Structure 1
């Protein structure tokens, strides 16, 4: 079982891939069979999960490493020369809320949204403050929201919200609420935002 670490004892590695729709399945297979298998025996490896976007042109891996280990220093399998290199970042959890005691990443029919916020490093502390406050409102007012976890990139330029939803319709409903509507967002003046929807297609732990 993969769980998001809300105590910050693990560092998060995020690999964001963009790929031609016809190659999405091939990339996912390469990530699982070539990359994640090469990670399993690493003493710093904790877990990894692979996500497939609904639009067919994105894939991302969410990996955990302990202690603060830069997984980007590991060699990449040669098969990855066939794809565009990923956007790879180191993250840490800054705030998390969920309906259950733990935030679990598992293969299921639930929807995962990954929202990316790009910003100047000077703005990241204020974004951290705002997102912590917004989590409470989101969880209290969004039927179908199972969990939401904000992460900050260690280079200061981004934040990510990893959210889990019962359905696509439940996610779309929150976009109509004040503060979450892209036309009047709580991040206005601090960051640029984009988001995409995914399904979890693979998980791996050391156990």
Structure 2
């Protein structure tokens, strides 16, 4: 995949939506998700299935370049699970966005869609503006995955605005980018990082300590950590770094 950049701007400013498709490869994982934030593996674990499937997924996403309204996509390989994710951006109102994996669609290994939703980027903050994702500038990304309880998305976003800026003191954390799903059931924080070496310091920040999780009572939480494998550019291209 080409090593260009993808720029993330809030939907209200850009009239662009995000689509996040998360894939699990191989046999389904049966271990329950941790109850709170866990630090990522220091060394990326690349599975045989990931290595086999990545070129095919990249080829599929490249085909989206010809689609009206396609702004770009980031291909992400989990460093803790046998998973891939594709974060893509499209003009709002473009219609149904393409799917990486259709039912019954072979990828040469067992694969299933963990989740696929459309999102608005509703709140961001960071040590740089705008948010830029690229293999060189932000080689690692985390997803903070929140499943909202009882329509509490607005309340959760209020807590995000009060808590997230302090997290930006964590060395390596460049930006936080909260996305709200169109069905209102999910929030995703796409966090961009220059490296995870000091991620553990985030867990000592107010709102992240044991017993102080800012989402308690509003959402359930899990996270995943990714290597930025590449970027497919569309109509919107940022200056390469």
The higher-RCO structure (CA 8 Å, 6+ apart) is 2
Deviation at residue 68 of structure 1 after TM alignment: 2.9
> Taking structure 1 as reference, are residues 157 and 182 closer, same or farther at Cα in structure 2, changes over 3 Å only?
farther
Deviation at residue 190 of structure 1 after TM alignment: 0.6
Aligned with 2:63: secondary structure? helix
Aligned with 2:174: secondary structure? strand
Match 2:132 to one of 95, 98, 104? 104
Unmatched runs of 5 consecutive residues or more in structure 1? none
Aligned with 1:125: secondary structure? helix
Match 2:53 to one of 27, 32, 48? 27
Please, what TM-score do these two structures have when normalized by structure 2?
0.77
How many aligned positions are there?
205
Query: Which residue is equivalent to 2:23?
Result: 17
Deviation at residue 119 of structure 1 after TM alignment: 1.5
Aligned with 1:173: secondary structure? helix
Query: Which residue is equivalent to 1:50?
Result: 75
Query: Which residue is equivalent to 1:133?
Result: 162
CA distance in 1, matches of 2:185, 2:59: 31
Deviation at residue 171 of structure 1 after TM alignment: 1.8
Deviation at residue 60 of structure 1 after TM alignment: 0.6
Unmatched runs of 5 consecutive residues or more in structure 2? 27-46, 236-241
CA distance in 1, matches of 2:155, 2:15: 23
Deviation at residue 79 of structure 1 after TM alignment: 3.3
Indicate whether 1:65 and 2:94 are aligned: no
Query: Which residue is equivalent to 1:120?
Result: 149
Deviation at residue 4 of structure 1 after TM alignment: 0.8
CA distance in 2, matches of 1:174, 1:168: 10
Cα deviation, 1:159-190, whole Å, max 9, x if unaligned, reads 01111223222222101223112542000001
> Taking structure 1 as reference, are residues 113 and 74 closer, same or farther at Cα in structure 2, changes over 3 Å only?
closer
Deviation at residue 27 of structure 1 after TM alignment: 2.5
Deviation at residue 146 of structure 1 after TM alignment: 0.9
Aligned-residue Cα RMSD (Å) equals 2.2
Please, what TM-score do these two structures have when normalized by structure 1?
0.88
